[in-house]
Amino acid sequence: MAAPGETVTFTVSSDASGNPTFVWNVDGLDVQSDSSSLQWAFQGEGQHTVTVTVDDGFDSGTASTSIEVRTPQPNHPPSVTLDADHQQAAPGEPVTFTASFADPDPGDSVALAWYVDGDRAAENGLTLTRSFAATGTHGVRVVATDLSGASSEASIQVNVVGTAPEAAIAVRTPSPKTRKVTVLDASGSVPASPSGSIVSYHWDLNGNGTFETTCAGPVVGVISAAAGDHPVSVLVTDDSGGTSTPVTTVLSLATSRLDQEYAPGALAVTAGGCAGPAKDGVVPEGYPADDLTCYTTVRAGIAEAMSTCFRRRTAPVGDRLLVKELYASTRTVRLNGIDVRPSSGVAIEIDTWTAEVKTIGGKAKASVDAGSTLGKLTFYYGSISWDLPSGKASRFNLGSLSITKGAELFGLSVEGDARLDLVYRGAEVPVTIHLPAPLDVSATVTLKTDNLKGLRLEEVHLRVKNATFGAFTVNDLDLLYNAAAYQFDGFADLSLTSVGNLQVSIQVVGRTVTMFAANFTPVPPLALGSGVFLQHIDFGYDAGPPLTLNGGVKLTAGPPINGTAAAAIEGTLKFVASDPWLLRADGNASIAGFGVASAYLQYQSNGMIRLGGRIDARLYDIVSAKANIDMWLYAPTMKFNAQARGDVCVWKGCGGGALVVSSTGVGGCVYTFFADFGLGYRWDGEFKYYLTGCDINHWASAWDGGARNRLASYARTAAVSSEDMVVARGERAVYFRFASVDDPPQVTVTGPDGTEIAVPAGTENFEATDDHIVLQVPPEHATYVIVRDPAPGRWQVRTADGTPDLVAVGQASALPKPRVRASVGGRGHARTLDYRLNAVEGQTVQFFERAGRTTQRLGTVSDAQGRIRFSPAPGPAGERSIIAVVQHDGAPREQVTVASYRAPGPLRPAATRRIAVKRTATRAVVTWADARRAASWRVVATADDGRRWSVRLDRRTLVLPSVFRGRTVTVTVRGVSADQVAGPAKRQVSRGR
């Protein structure tokens, strides 16, 4: 067998005489070789045949052979496992080891090699049996190797020990009782060897199955407050390393008279220790002590005591086979975070055996430092005898609360009472606080304290009834705050009158506001953003996401027009905490004082304001409209544009059309199939009737032209000095205007081809046919005639009998249709707009980028071609349209989409590189480094007492008041761009000291 491409040598032997010839054939193909051997490399896999013919001139013979060509498979090492029938044995005891292996390569062979304590064994089978004379740990290893040399191994260890020792327990105390030490003796235990010895005793004194008490000697003492049966077990280890099986005895404890002197259940578990000399311990000056060493920390039961100097002494326990340690100090002792200050000549003693803390020789004062707000709270003054056993809290009612003289809360003196609950290594202090009349305010504050973290807030329960703080009134409040879970429960009913009339009702469960209702009328109106003012609001709360507020609202927006806000709406309210955030109101609206039914007003934090709805309005009895309206307002410039599409009437002429109200004025337009007409009015001028193509965006702020179903030509009007008018060749339409000093004149217009258009008698005519339109407008004393596809040449006009003399004759012609082409180049946030347009005198083109709620003006051009460089407007990634608004003489003519491209997402600010938290005794000052593209900052800070600060800042400094050195503070800083895009967060933890 060979691999593809591998050279194979074929050799033939024969009995031919002379000089024979050799003819080779491979798979039916003759090969040029006149030799007794052939070298050949097969390229394809499969079975191949090689044939050779030998001819010596007298005779010939043929022989053939076959060879298989196959791509070799990669070799995989075998896997091997090793087991022993037991892994602990006595000296000389046989142990059998069994190996098993597997090779993933079919047909491969595997050989085994055994090693015992590092030496190669003679055996090579699947099993190996060995016995070990020496005690200790012995290792056995097996290596499996295949034909290609790949190998793997497995190993196991055997522990060889002598005969195990035997444990024994004897109860030395007759009639064991609760609260009394019971002595147990394991000195009857026997080592494995007669010449050996027991080196350690392992006790399970509380029956939990764990041998947590190890003694060098055989005697222990046990004490418990619970009567009944208590199992106690021991196992022993001798000098050969052998360990016995556990031995258990059951102590039956009778009730002791001392139980009547202790709180029931104060010691629910069994405790004890080794007999013999006591360990390090602690006692004050003049107190009998075993040594003069100053110890600083003592632990007993649930108590942890710290002082500058504890002295230690020992005392007998029970039947004097045991001794206990007692520690005492005449200085202030911090016990579970509570400062216990003994009077002069008095000591605080701690019994580590019974976990009792008591005063020796007099009284002591228990207090806790509550910081600069409440000063030092004194809970108790008197003699102390506290039982602080392990595993249970002890509760003490310590009477009235007193506060250091001069301390106050929010500028008010405080009175109340407190209780002390001692728990494992700490304490809880429920404090009830009352503010003096006439304020009906009370609170239950639960503080936690320990020796490491000091005093901290655990829980606050605040209750207020009809309390007034300046202009702020709390009608009813019941609020529970859990600092560990950062959780509120309760309700509140509040009102505020200093900035208007505010009424708020809140209900909170956990971290969720389950009910929130508010009613607010600010005085004066409250600015929500540039150009948007809140007049009144009623709203409710929905947690989202995203966060949504719903309710009722009255908003105004834009500059005043004739004493009225440009836009106003009263209806329902919705707030969406997007980026940029969005505020939307739905209801009845007005634009410059004109009513809009079923409308909405939408404000984005980037300055865009939009209003839309259904309008049914009449303007000065001249223009009326029933149409859908769409309004845009850009707050930074206060320019706005509102367009309506639907049924519009200008004087007596009605049809499909449009109406606009903007920061410039108001206009209306009626569309016909070939020409449009309408009127306009500037806020600072008079009515203007015009037949100039009626592009109503003439009145609009050009930043947003809006959608057009149809754009009429904007015609340029030129007065003529005679009553004859000349029409150039190729005009699509011609506009004639005839004015008199009184009523609209009655005229007849005649063209060079004989066309005759006669205006009927009357003063308010409106007539529209396939080839002409007639309109009379009494306020302007004018008659308009529009002719479709007029014949070139001289047109004449004559007045009817009785018609006043003409005082003005006007004529208009249509401009050429605008043509704009554009394409977007570049990539990422560096883009170019290449444009090409037909140059017309007086024409400008404005380009805008638009997608959803994103709009940006790119530039204004008049050249026939050029390039504009721009960056995509802030907004989500995706398709953007390029809009061209064509203007002539400052009035928009046409709006068209000329290009599109895919924009990237907005540029986010970078993360700040550094946050520094400087601590003083009473506050934390947070500063941070600047970051690219960050215009402002969102900062969230939390303290380990549950307080939380969430602010938006322009500066890079935040001061956290009343944050003491012992508090841990976590600060998160996130940059926000000028376009309100938030960047990544940076987090810093400042731990208390």
Domains of the chain, residue spans: 7-69, 79-160, 170-274, 295-392+420-429, 472-515, 524-699, 716-813, 820-903, 915-990
User: Would you state the pLDDT for residue 130?
Assistant: 94
β-strand 338-342 against 322-329: which pairing, if any?
unpaired
β-strand 512-522 against 228-238: which pairing, if any?
unpaired
Q: What is the DSSP string of 263-278?
A: -TTS--S-EEEE-SS-
Phi first, then psi: give them for residue 369, nearest 5 degrees. Answer: -80, 115
Both tokens of 143, joined, read 């290596």
C-alpha of 173 from chain center: 65
Domain 7-69 and domain 716-813, same fold? Reply is yes
User: Would you state the pLDDT for residue 246?
Assistant: 92
C-alpha of 808 from chain center: 71
- What CATH number matches the domain at 716-813, 2.60.40, 1.10.3470, 2.30.30, 3.40.50? 2.60.40
With 0-12 CB in 10 A as exposed, 13-18 as middle and 19+ as buried, what is 620? Answer: exposed
User: Would you state the pLDDT for residue 824?
Assistant: 96
With 0-12 CB in 10 A as exposed, 13-18 as middle and 19+ as buried, what is 647? Answer: middle
Q: Where does the pLDDT of residue 483 fall: very low under 50, low under 70, confident under 90, or very high at 90 and above?
A: low
Question: Once rounded to an integer, what is the mean pLDDT over residues 748-774?
Answer: 86
Share of the chain above pLDDT 70, in %: 60
Contact 594, 615 (CB under 8 A): yes
Look at 803 and 602; give whichever has higher pLDDT: 803
- For 428, other C-beta atoms within 10 Å of its C-beta total 19
β-strand 29-31 against 21-26: which pairing, if any?
antiparallel
Q: Where does the pLDDT of residue 544 fall: very low under 50, low under 70, confident under 90, or very high at 90 and above?
A: very low
At residue 932, does pLDDT exceed 90? yes
Fold held by 820-903: Immunoglobulin-like (2.60.40)
Fold held by 79-160: Immunoglobulin-like (2.60.40)
At residue 707, does pLDDT exceed 90? no
Residue with tokens 């208009």: 812
Tell me the CA distances in angstroms from 342 to 330, 362, 449, 452, 501, one per residue in order.
6, 8, 20, 22, 57
Fold held by 170-274: Immunoglobulin-like (2.60.40)
Domain 7-69 matching CATH 1.10.760: the answer reads: no
Angstrom distance (rounded) from CA 628 to CA 600: 12
**Architecture in CATH for domain 915-990:** Sandwich (2.60)
Question: Once rounded to an integer, what is the mean pLDDT over residues 905-917?
Answer: 91
How many H helices and E strands in the chain?
A: 1, 80
Helix (H) or strand (E) segment spanning residue 374: helix 371-374
Residue with tokens 């890079």: 956
- For 176, other C-beta atoms within 10 Å of its C-beta total 22
User: Would you state the pLDDT for residue 810?
Assistant: 78
Phi first, then psi: give them for residue 765, nearest 5 degrees. Answer: -75, 145
β-strand 136-146 against 110-116: which pairing, if any?
antiparallel
At residue 594, does pLDDT exceed 90? no
User: Would you state the pLDDT for residue 579?
Assistant: 54
- For 18, other C-beta atoms within 10 Å of its C-beta total 8
Contact 843, 862 (CB under 8 A): yes
User: Full-prediction pTM beyond 0.95?
Assistant: no
- Chain mean pLDDT for the chain: 73
pLDDT tens digits along 632-673: 555 555 555 555 555 555 545 554 455 555 545 555 554 444
User: Would you state the pLDDT for residue 636?
Assistant: 54
Q: Where does the pLDDT of residue 581 fall: very low under 50, low under 70, confident under 90, or very high at 90 and above?
A: low
Lowest mean pLDDT among 107-116, 230-239, 272-281, 755-764: 272-281
